[in-house]
């Protein structure tokens, strides 16, 4: 009776003693290292310049660029709260670079800038361009796939934004998915007033998402979101170049 008890005691002591080796029946399992996020990158060079926008959109190179905003997830916009929008899945389509859209992802870095171009009487076009680096290409691909599905589901729908007694309706049309870019046309309407068309585009390359909005202030460019798609493609080329 003492032999089994002695063996048990020695086995316990072996676990505590440095340099003691035991053999355990079973299958060896290799512990694969966890994926390590890529380094945080400066994204300012991914944003389009005035001359690039001029060439891409076919306008005079007289646009004014807004201040560059760079940082982490804290630089995402907070213009829409999740409880204010119905359906909330359509926020990605209707509003640019929102924290409620990107907040659940592992955001590594963000860069954004606004832009306006036109004549002395006022801008004919205005724009907003953002790029968000996520933790990995896989996470960026998953984010884009989910966003593209939401955009498709929101096509032909109206999202309502309710802030107290004030409300705004956003009509979503012309959603298209073309490879790494999804686009749409959005019209924001406050009360009974009519709004101007806004071109929206979202694209993916590597570990990053580009987020583009172009507002047709003069109403001269109706019929799709081609301008936003072209700018998104320009930014994606810079990411992969």
Lowest-pLDDT choice from 56-60, 76-80, 104-108, 227-231: 56-60
Q: Tens digit of pLDDT for each residue in 110-155?
A: 999 999 987 656 567 899 999 999 999 999 999 999 999 999 999 9
Give me the pLDDT at residue 39, please.
Answer: 75
CA 206 to chain centre: 12
Q: Where are the domains of the chain?
A: 44-240
Give me the pLDDT at residue 62, please.
Answer: 78
Flag whether pLDDT at 71 surpasses 50. Answer: yes
Query: Percent of the chain, pLDDT > 90?
Result: 64
Pick the CATH number of 44-240 from 3.40.50.12780, 3.40.1000.70, 1.10.3210.10, 3.50.50.60: 3.40.1000.70
Flag whether pLDDT at 192 surpasses 90. Answer: no
Give me the pLDDT at residue 66, please.
Answer: 95
Give me the pLDDT at residue 38, please.
Answer: 64
| Continuous segment of H or E residues that includes residue 190 | strand 181-190
CA distance 79 to 112: 15
Q: Which residue has the higher pLDDT, 11 or 216?
A: 216
Q: Beta partners for 202? A: 182, 211
Backbone φ and ψ for 158, nearest 5 degrees, come out as -120, 120
CA distance 139 to 191: 38
Give me the pLDDT at residue 120, please.
Answer: 59
Flag whether pLDDT at 18 surpasses 70. Answer: no
Q: Are 43 and 36 in contact (CB under 8 A)?
A: no
Complete DSSP assignment for 118-170: EETTEEEEEEEEEEEEES-HHHHHHHHHHHHHHHHHHTT-EEEEEETTEEEEE
CA distance 127 to 113: 9
135 class by beta-carbon count within 10 Å (0-12 exposed, 13-18 middle, 19+ buried): middle
Backbone φ and ψ for 123, nearest 5 degrees, come out as -70, 135
Flag whether pLDDT at 4 surpasses 50. Answer: no
């Amino acid at each position: 009776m003492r032999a089994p008890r002695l063996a048990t005691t020695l086995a316990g002591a072996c676990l505590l003693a440095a340099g003691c080796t035991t053999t355990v029946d079973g299958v060896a399992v290799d512990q694969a290292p966890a994926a390590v996020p890529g380094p945080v990158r400066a994204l300012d060079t991914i944003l389009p310049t005035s001359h690039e926008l001029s060439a891409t959109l076919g306008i005079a190179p007289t646009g004014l660029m807004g201040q560059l905003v760079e940082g982490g997830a804290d630089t995402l916009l907070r213009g829409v709260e999740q409880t204010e929008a119905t359906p909330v899945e359509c926020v990605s389509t209707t509003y640019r670079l929102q924290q409620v859209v990107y907040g659940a992802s592992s955001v590594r870095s963000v860069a954004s800038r606004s832009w306006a171009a036109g004549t002395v009487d006022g801008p004919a076009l205005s724009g907003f361009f953002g790029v968000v680096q996520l933790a990995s290409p896989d996470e960026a691909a998953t984010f884009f796939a989910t966003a593209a599905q939401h955009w498709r589901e929101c096509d032909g729908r109206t999202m309502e934004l309710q802030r107290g007694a004030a409300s705004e309706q956003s009509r979503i049309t012309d959603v298209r998915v073309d490879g790494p870019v999804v686009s749409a046309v959005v019209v924001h309407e406050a009360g009974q007033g009519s709004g101007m068309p806004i071109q929206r585009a979202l694209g993916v390359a590597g570990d990053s998402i580009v987020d583009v909005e172009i507002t047709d202030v003069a109403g001269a460019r109706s019929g799709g979101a081609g301008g936003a798609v072209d700018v998104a493609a320009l930014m994606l080329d810079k990411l992969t170049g």
